[in-house]
A and B are shown apart, each in its own frame.
Chain A
Amino acid sequence: MKKIMINKTTKNDMITYAMVILAYIVVQLLIATGHVSSLIQGLLVPFCTYVIVAIALNLTVGILGELSLGHAGFMCVGAFSSAVFSLAFKDAIPGGLRFLLAILIGAAAAALIGFLVGIPVLRLRGDYLAIVTLAFGEIIKNIINALYLGVDGNGIHFTMKDALSLDMEEDGLMLIKGAQGVTGTPNDSNFTIGVVLILITLFIVLNFIHSRTGRAVMSIRDNRIAAESVGINVTKYKLIAFTISASLAGVAGVLYAHNLSTLNALPKNFGYNMSILILVFVVLGGIGNIRGSIIAAVLLTLLPEVLRALSDYRMLIYAIVLIAMMIFNWSPNAIFFRKRLKQRITAGRKPGKEE
């Protein structure tokens, strides 16, 4: 009997796409039949946001093999650039087109910043990227907190001092108001757009991994000296991967910004804690495992909300679950146990067949 031979990686990628699409269909069906609580409905867009940024970071951590602790910073850049754009053109451009442009602007802004950060740092060996991106994330947050931007009949006003020194006219529109951030961003994000963006992100990342460039990037990760010896331009390929990763994080930021009517750069949402949380998604899902990142991002975003009934204890339980998942995923004994369990199940079902 002749089987249709599908490339193993293609099959694997198809499972990932199918998983996202299936999840989307199931959720839409549940919403249509009224089985989804408001809490979950409200969480759908955040799920998409964190899934995209987790995939983006996985590209840096898993494929490029560099540690980035500033992906919340890239999210922040994407969020603020797109929110300012959407607010400024709130009435001038119709909703759909405006959001498409906002996504492109957010992605481009984050890509540019990622590129600039990458130029000096990616030439170095060692953990410098982690150090620089960590600092970058904090810097960008503080800059935005001190930034005042407004637009009126005379053009664009900009200052780092305070709102008064903008000298705006009465009918002027404040775009960024220092620590108050951006208020009144149109709520353009929705679950469908989020899922489409996840699929696009997956398409970009998975195809990138299996492309010639992706193989070059992975060869740098696995052995830099060997890669250099066969003539791979290390800095160039690192920059390509890192810039793509940053720009996808920017897209996640766009989704975040257009889900809420207010956007502030707080330590909570764009500080290093957030960057670490994104890293946790990636590590728990499996470094280099894109599908794992998606699942981990959804689970870990859902968990604290589902545990709300336990009030303050939820933080405690969240931490315990993190540790437990880490042991389950990464401890050698746990891996051995999982394998044995899998073997026993498959052996029980089909005697004689070995995994």
Chain B
Amino acid sequence: MKKKMLSLVLAGAMTAALLTGCGSTGADSGSAAAGTTNDTAADDAAATDDAAADDAATTDDTAADDAAADDAAAADNAGAADGAGGTLKIGGIGPLTGGAAVYGIAAMNGSQIAVDEINAAGGVNGMMLELNFQDDELDSEKSVNAYNTLKDWGVQVIDGCVTSACSIAVSAKTAEDNIFQLTPSGSAVECVANPNSFRVCFSDPNQGAASAQYIGEHSLATKVAVIYDSSDVYSSGIYEKFAGEAKNQPFEIVTAGAFTADNKTDFSVQLQQAKDAGADLVFLPIYYNEAALILKQASDMGFDVKFFGCDGLDGILGVENFDASLAEDVMLLTPFAADATDDLTVKFVTTYNEQFGETPNQFAADGYDAIYIIKAAAEKAGITADMSNEEICTALSAAMTEIQVDGLTGLGITWDASGEPTKDPKAVVIKNGVYTAM
């Protein structure tokens, strides 16, 4: 009998889950209609609803509110529907579970802070912003599923994806559907191949070439060793361009030690190679977790050398149980430093700390900037919530090349039609445990 009960309950749970899944999509698209086209949608919604029919006769606005309020699933929309200009639906996509979850969650939190701030300040052109962030599990197939889920929800602008491969997969679909896409941190070149896609962060080649030029121009070294993650798109992408640009610079690459995601704890071999080759600078186009281990192991083997990294190294001072003194004199090119003292950064870091209890990393800053860039472009293009996705896409894509945004990740950022941002990389050096501009 227990089994019987159990299977009945579970079968019921499954059916219920299936129904709620379908139900919420239906309800959401219904409320999307109510939110986007005020008059007609309100009438339609009211006509189907006898109770609201009376209200509809008096004022359209209240009918819209009623229709929205009727939707339990869209309860959070009800407040937004009050805005005179309706709601602009922004869909975010990124990894919220699995190994890369830290990036997706950071971007989501950063974006959410920006959305809240903008809504509190009265929205964009009178429109409220609404963010729906979907998980892609760092899988391009799932990211397309996430995108389709957002489409069912009635998304108008895509803020994603957080990672490169997913971003490429989704940008093929947004180009087909004519939905404007702005990736906060998809750094591979192909992410912005389509005319409707733009990015906030530097591209990989951009960072690699900029690093090589910086080292060359400032005569930081004559012999450079590189340690990079060959299984990571970001890391190998930067390395390739770095090595390409290095040929034009007054230094040579003496060794290039690669590691993969499967063995990223012991770097003594690569460090020994670099030491034997007499390198006076080690270039680390990798993320900070591995970099922290490399710094520790280099210090253990008495290898005293300069380290130079890219934006992935940002966050190294926050690694748990990491002796920050090891990072002394490490140089990095980064668009964002959490301990910068300008007002915008201080405000963002404080809010982030209050809401999520941690110091934001560069992905959070990219996510924050992405929303403000969408806002700037939407204001420039005069976007309203009742425009179709095609109109929004065309208008935003055109406006992107005309705006200039001062964000957390750079001042006076501009875009050209290729979708690449133009901003100056900031080189910082770690002195006495804090980032100091070079």
Contacts and interface: CB of A to CB of B under 8 A. Distances in A.
A181 B190 CA distance: 12
B236 A162 contact: yes
A320 B6 CA distance: 12
A261 B21 contact: no
B230 A145 contact: yes
Contact of B138 (A162, A179, A268): A268
Interface in A22-38: 37-38
Contacts of B3: 327, 331, 333-334, 337
Interface in B1-59: 3-4, 6-7, 10, 13-14, 17-18, 20-22, 24-25
Interface in A126-157: 142, 145-146
A337 B231 CA distance: 51
Secondary structure at the B interface, as helix, strand, loop or mixed, is: helix
B140 A260 contact: yes
B137 interface: yes
B315 to A, nearest CB: 22
A117 interface: no
B393 interface: no
B139 A269 contact: yes
A180 interface: yes
A259 B190 CA distance: 17
Given A42-B144, A164-B240, A184 B190 contact: yes
A43 B145 contact: yes
A308 B21 CA distance: 8
A178 B148 contact: no
A37 B152 contact: yes
A301 B84 CA distance: 41
Interface string B259-284: 01010000000000000000000000
A179 B258 CA distance: 12
A42 B13 CA distance: 25
A42 B145 contact: yes
Nearest to B24: A309
B27 to A, nearest CB: 10
Contact of A261 (B25, B98, B168): B168
Interface centre among A42, A184, A259 (most CB of B within 10 A): A42
A92 interface: no
Given A39-B149, A39-B152, A179-B233, A162 B18 contact: no
Nearest to B167: A262
A179 B230 CA distance: 7
Contacts of B148: 37-39, 41-43
Interface string A288-321: 0000000000000000011111111001010011
Contacts of A145: 230-231, 260
Interface centre among A145, A183, A331 (most CB of B within 10 A): A183
Interface centre among A256, A305, A309 (most CB of B within 10 A): A309
Contacts, number: 132
B7 A328 contact: yes
Contacts of A320: 10
Nearest to A138: B262
B152 A309 contact: no
Interface string B66-109: 00000000000000000000000000000011100000000000
A187 interface: yes
Interface in B164-182: 164-165, 168-169, 171-172
Given A164-B243, A309-B24, A311-B96, A180 B141 contact: no
B337 interface: no
B152 A38 contact: yes
A46 interface: yes
B165 A181 contact: yes
Contacts of A306: 17-18, 21-22
Nearest to B258: A162
Given A39-B152, A321-B10, A163 B240 contact: yes
B190 A269 contact: no
A164 B205 CA distance: 13
A333 B3 CA distance: 8
17 contacts: A41-B148, A42-B147, A46-B141, A142-B262, A179-B230, A179-B236, A180-B164, A180-B188, A187-B172, A261-B172, A262-B168, A262-B169, A307-B21, A308-B135, A311-B135, A312-B96, A327-B6
Interface of A: 37-39, 41-43, 46, 142, 145-146, 162-164, 178-181, 183-184, 187, 256, 259-264, 266, 268-269, 305-312, 315, 317, 320-321, 324, 327-328, 331, 333-334, 337
Closest 10 CB pairs of A and B: A261-B172, A306-B21, A42-B148, A38-B151, A262-B168, A38-B148, A324-B10, A39-B148, A268-B139, A37-B152
Given A261-B169, A307-B17, 18 more contacts: A38-B149, A42-B147, A43-B148, A145-B231, A164-B240, A164-B243, A178-B230, A179-B231, A262-B140, A263-B140, A264-B165, A269-B140, A308-B134, A308-B146, A312-B97, A324-B6, A324-B10, A337-B7
